[in-house]
Amino acid sequence: MLMWSRIRTQSASPLGKLGVEAALEAAADPSITPKPKIFDEFALTDRVGLVSGGNRGLGLEMALACCEAGARVVYCFDLPEKPSDEWIASRDYVAKLGNNSRLEYFSETVTDQQALWKKTEEIGDKEGRMDFCIAAAGILRSPIDCLEYPAEEYREVLDVNASGVLFTAQAAGRQMSRFGRGGSIILIASMSGSVTNRGHAWISYNTSKSAVLQMARSMACELGEKKIRVNSLSPGYMYTSMTKAYLDKQPHLLDVWSNMNPMGRLGRPNEVRGVVTWLASDASTFCTGSDIVVSGGLHSW
């Protein structure tokens, strides 16, 4: 009995009894009126988040989803001094949702560790908490033969796609640790971190995304005792502003990429909304150190 009591205490949901436990409680107490709790598990009510690469593309899509889930505020940052038209439209959209959520924007580079730490500390001072982080900033360069890849470009890609992810996760994780509530850190990797882009010389991109997968596992092991969960999310070929610019130069790749998965098409940015909300919320409280692949089944072949 003592062991069972300890297990129940360790694993208790912050939302109280759920599922079968809730049904048994209601059966024992007829005064209880059952109500659905599954959507409460996915809610991000009053939570504070940080999203790198949040000016457009996947980063903005995921930030908006978190606002729809009830986050108090999601701070997006990116390189441009002023946010894009897409970001402004999304901010205005969030303001009209009527759930007291808001989007904020600031300009910063993911490669400046100290500046990012300082800015996130200021956010912590203002909001009094930090609950989730989505490290989505990344760059893509034209493919170059691995034997000819220039050092400067290789370092640039790794600096943004690997080091920048770490610095973003550190910035948010430091605040999560400071407030002692735990949190969820989501590192945006890629299916390119676990498979090779066939026919494309993307050694810097593949290497950086592989580093992110290992980074998530390593950080999950270190931060678990602080109740900070760290997972990676690996999208397949998605049609974003970044890939659009790439496909505009090499349109033949559209059919190549589309036929590389059983779905026979590219993914939409909004097809990661549910997964990222799940990872940020209490619906995934026992998930850490995992890589969630959203690739249209590319890994199945």
- Residues designated catalytic: 205, 209
Q: How far apart are CA 89 and CA 17, in angstroms?
A: 39
Helices (H) then strands (E): counts for the chain: 12, 7
Dig out the tokens for 191 from the structure.
């299916």
**In degrees, to the nearest 5, what angle opens at C-alpha 33 toward C-alphas 30 and 34?**
110
Residue with tokens 């990012």: 116
**In degrees, to the nearest 5, what angle opens at C-alpha 110 toward C-alphas 279 and 71?**
35
Best CA proximity match to 119, nearest among 106, 130, 128 = 106
CA-based R_g, the chain, Å: 20
Contact 72, 129 (CB under 8 A): no
Q: How far apart are CA 74 and CA 65, in angstroms?
A: 10
User: Phi and psi dihedrals of 175, rounded to 5?
Assistant: -75, -40
Q: What is the DSSP letter of 283?
A: G
Contact 257, 161 (CB under 8 A): no
Q: How far apart are CA 44 and CA 88, in angstroms?
A: 22
Q: What are 292's strand-pairing partners? A: 233
Contact 199, 152 (CB under 8 A): no
**In degrees, to the nearest 5, what angle opens at C-alpha 140 toward C-alphas 158 and 175?**
55
Query: Cα(first)–Cα(last) distance of the chain, in Å?
Result: 48
